[in-house]
Amino acid sequence: MNIGIIGSGELGSLLASKFVKLGYSVSIANSRGPASLKQLAGEIGAEAATVEEAAQNKEVIIIALPQKSIPDLPKGLFEQLPEDVVIIETGNYYPNIRDGHITELDKSGIDSLWVQQQLGFPVVKVFNSILATSIKDLGRPKGEKGRIAIAVSGDNLKSKDVVFKLVDELGFDSFDIGPITQSWKQQPGSSIYCRDIDLGELKKRVGAMGTVWPDMRDQILGQRTTWEALMITDYPAYLKELKD
């Protein structure tokens, strides 16, 4: 499987390294161009690419960018893609410490629904609600007690099947949240965000949220501010990713 990763911050670089080790062909790109990625790509066995190259002839494209960078992607980047290409979106909206306020996103409040609209192509939201350090260190074989579960949402069932496979290979269980309109359940401020919980507990917490976004909007978005503060004080590695 050929995988393109757009974004070379902590998460993008980690996923590139992990998928290379799993035997996949991986290209990684950022806004600064392939030359800036030559050393990293050489160390992990990936190919340094332009953003356009990372989106060409790929079966899976992973977008590991801050939300503020989504509108800066080349126009028409996803217009000619085959329908069976899987686009994974890993981002979270942090208006106060990173992204600034995006008017349309502030109105909808659902991060990846806005991203999907910007790209004009269905996305699968995953890897946003788990720390990169957890992906790096906490994967376990299928069936092992205490295996961490990761939330997945999206409108394309076939794309989600591909994502479920990748998540399993990384050492985690998947839980299908539902369509992209339900992806708010895995956003910053929700009860499953960055919790490192098993499948049973994740299902329990998701069930407790219900299905109606307006009923949960104020609570989750209110908690997001707290998470933004925690990202600065508790997770210094996140500060590096803000720059990428």
- Cα–Cα distance list, 53 to 37, 67, 117, 160, 161 (Å): 14, 21, 22, 23, 25
Please check the confidence at residue 52 and state whether its pLDDT lies above 50. Answer: yes
Q: Is 152 helix (H, G, I), strand (E, B) or coil?
A: strand
What is the pLDDT at residue 98? 86
Mean pLDDT of the 135-162 span: 96
Enumerate the β-bridge partners of residue 5.
Answer: 28, 62
Residue 123 tokens read as 């996305």
Query: Quick one: pLDDT band at residue 202, thresholds 50, 70, 90?
Result: very high
The Cα 213–Cα 181 span in angstroms is 9
Summarize the confidence of residues 131-137 as an average pLDDT.
95
**Tokens 């995988």 label which residue?**
3
Is the pLDDT higher at 157 or at 230?
157
Query: What tokens appear for 25 in the block?
Result: 């062909």
Across residues 194-216, what is the average pLDDT? 92
Q: Which CATH number fits domain 65-242: 1.10.150, 1.10.3470, 3.40.50, 1.10.10?
A: 3.40.50
Stretch 76-92: mean pLDDT: 93
| Residue 236 predicted with pLDDT over 50 | no
CB-based contacts of 58, cutoff 8 Å, min separation 6: 2, 3, 4, 27, 85
Residue type at 76 in one-letter notation: G
Kind and range of the H or E run holding 20: helix 10-21
β-strand pairing of 47-48 with 60-63: unpaired
pLDDT band of 28, cuts 50, 70, 90: very high
Residues 80-95 have a mean pLDDT of 93
Q: Look at residue 67 and tell me whether its pLDDT is greater than 90.
A: yes
Domain boundaries, the chain: 65-242
Neighbours of 15 (CB within 10 A): 25
With CA atoms as reference, report the closest residue to 124 among 172, 61, 197, 81. 61
The residues with which 125 forms a beta bridge, in sequence order, are 89, 153
Does residue 9 carry a pLDDT above 50? yes
Long-range CB contacts for residues 144-148, cutoff 8 Å, separation at least 24: 146/198, 147/171, 147/172, 147/173, 147/198, 147/199, 148/172, 148/173, 148/196, 148/197, 148/198
Rounded to two decimals, what is the model's pTM? 0.91
In terms of Cα–Cα distance, which of 188, 149, 162, 9 is closest to 87?
162
Using 50, 70 and 90 to split pLDDT, how confident is the model at 22? very high
Please state the rounded mean pLDDT for residues 116-136.
96
The per-residue pLDDT for 112 is 95
- pLDDT bin (cut points 50, 70, 90) of residue 239 is very low
Which residues pair with residue 176 across a beta bridge? 152
pLDDT band at 233 (very low <50, low <70, confident <90, very high): low
